[in-house]
Amino acid sequence: MFIKSKANVNEKDMECCRQFAETIYWQQECEEIFDGAFSLDLPYAPPGMYQHLGKNELKWHYDWLSHTVGNDWKWENTKALGTDHESIFWVFRTGSGSVCWGGKEGWYESKFATLLHIQDGRITYAKDHFDPAGFYKAIGVELPKFCYDAKSPEQFQERAKPSQAPCTEEDLKRQIERTLDFFVHPDYWNPEVKEVLTEDFVHELTFAPADMPRIYRGREYDALNEWLDRHLKGGTIYDEVFYQTTDSHIYITEYNCLFETDWGYTAEQIQAGAHGRYPNREISYIELDDQGRCRRLDEYLNTMSKFLSINASVPTFPYMFY
């Protein structure tokens, strides 16, 4: 038993989404899948790179990609999804290949989360999210330290097992709503948290400073949440959007957040009262099991915002130097 997805998409548009997922979109032979008025947003772009690209900026951006990304570039683990929002699609994938940026050869690898607007089989708009810190890693530039002072996972108890599985379709609908709400309005220490996570739940923080782990399981997830509780001093989450996808087990959320923080500093700085503000636009890829509980959460966020919140200087990326 599971809830059938309400996402009903145009097959021509869905095929365009699949085609985008598998192609190297900046190559000239891929032009046919884009509308003449296509525009692109790169909200997680490193300092120095365009964040909004219209017709003229796209010309330069494609030229930069064509000259600096190797022929060995490839996409893997692609997932193309329609949604219950008209004309909106998502593509999740991993991209990797050799690069030469700022005159330095290297290797770039990242997960990508891409929102697409598709009409009549053509992409009219895209918003692409990727790892900004990876651009610096590829050219050997070390970014500022970010102190992740989480407690040892061994200090936390094993989470209690979920209770009985939902028995009716209405029970399952309520369980799904409860699970989705948790990831936008979390209450980590509520005993009922066991009801929204599977026993083998995995949280991947897809983009993170070098000093933070990216994968969290079991008590590691509890240690992460205790760290968040300790360092988030108040704030708000707003402009939430939920997407039900054509895969009935996968939901996507987007939301803005703005928090006051005292994280990322050394112990001496924290004791001296250091604090900052943390803004972000976050995306959650939520995979449910047949009981409506989350078995995997992939969280996409802009790493640069963490450095911004601790007043750490990040060098300009040599975007147009090639």
Which of 138, 167, 193 terminates a domain? The answer is: 138
CA–CA dist 100, 57 (Å, integer)? 20
Task: Let me know if residue 172 belongs to a domain.
Answer: yes
Structural element, H or E, at residue 93: strand 88-101
CA–CA dist 93, 148 (Å, integer)? 27
Per the structure, how many domains does the chain have?
2
Write out the residue range of the structural domain in which residue 174 sits: 153-309
Q: What is the reported pLDDT for 279? A: 95
Do 48 and 76 meet the contact criterion of CB atoms below 8 Å apart? no
Q: What is the reported pLDDT for 161? A: 72
> Do 132 and 158 fall into the same domain?
no
pTM: 0.93
Which of 89, 114, 138 terminates a domain? The answer is: 138
> Do 184 and 296 fall into the same domain?
yes
> Do 107 and 171 fall into the same domain?
no
Q: What is the reported pLDDT for 191? A: 67
Q: What is the reported pLDDT for 264? A: 77
CA–CA dist 302, 279 (Å, integer)? 9
Task: Let me know if residue 47 belongs to a domain.
Answer: yes
Task: Let me know if residue 203 belongs to a domain.
Answer: yes
CATH assignment at residue 127: 3.10.450.50
> Do 198 and 260 fall into the same domain?
yes
* Token pair in block for residue 299: 């969280």
What is the residue-level pLDDT of the chain in tens, covering all 322 positions?
567 888 889 999 999 999 999 999 998 878 899 999 999 999 999 999 999 999 999 999 999 999 999 999 999 999 999 999 999 999 999 999 999 999 999 999 999 999 999 999 999 999 999 999 999 999 999 999 998 999 999 998 877 677 777 778 888 889 999 999 888 887 767 767 778 999 899 999 999 999 999 999 999 999 999 999 999 888 999 999 999 999 999 999 999 999 999 887 777 777 776 789 999 999 999 999 999 999 999 999 999 999 999 989 999 999 988 8
> Do 193 and 158 fall into the same domain?
yes
Strands 215-217 and 197-205, by their bridges, are antiparallel
> Do 133 and 81 fall into the same domain?
yes
> Do 229 and 191 fall into the same domain?
yes
> Do 292 and 159 fall into the same domain?
yes
Task: Let me know if residue 317 belongs to a domain.
Answer: no
> Do 215 and 243 fall into the same domain?
yes
> Do 134 and 159 fall into the same domain?
no
Task: Let me know if residue 146 belongs to a domain.
Answer: no
Task: Let me know if residue 320 belongs to a domain.
Answer: no
Q: What angle do CA 45, 284, 302 make, to 5 degrees?
A: 25
> Do 133 and 89 fall into the same domain?
yes
Task: Let me know if residue 321 belongs to a domain.
Answer: no
Task: Let me know if residue 316 belongs to a domain.
Answer: no
Which of 138, 169, 195 terminates a domain? The answer is: 138
> Do 133 and 203 fall into the same domain?
no
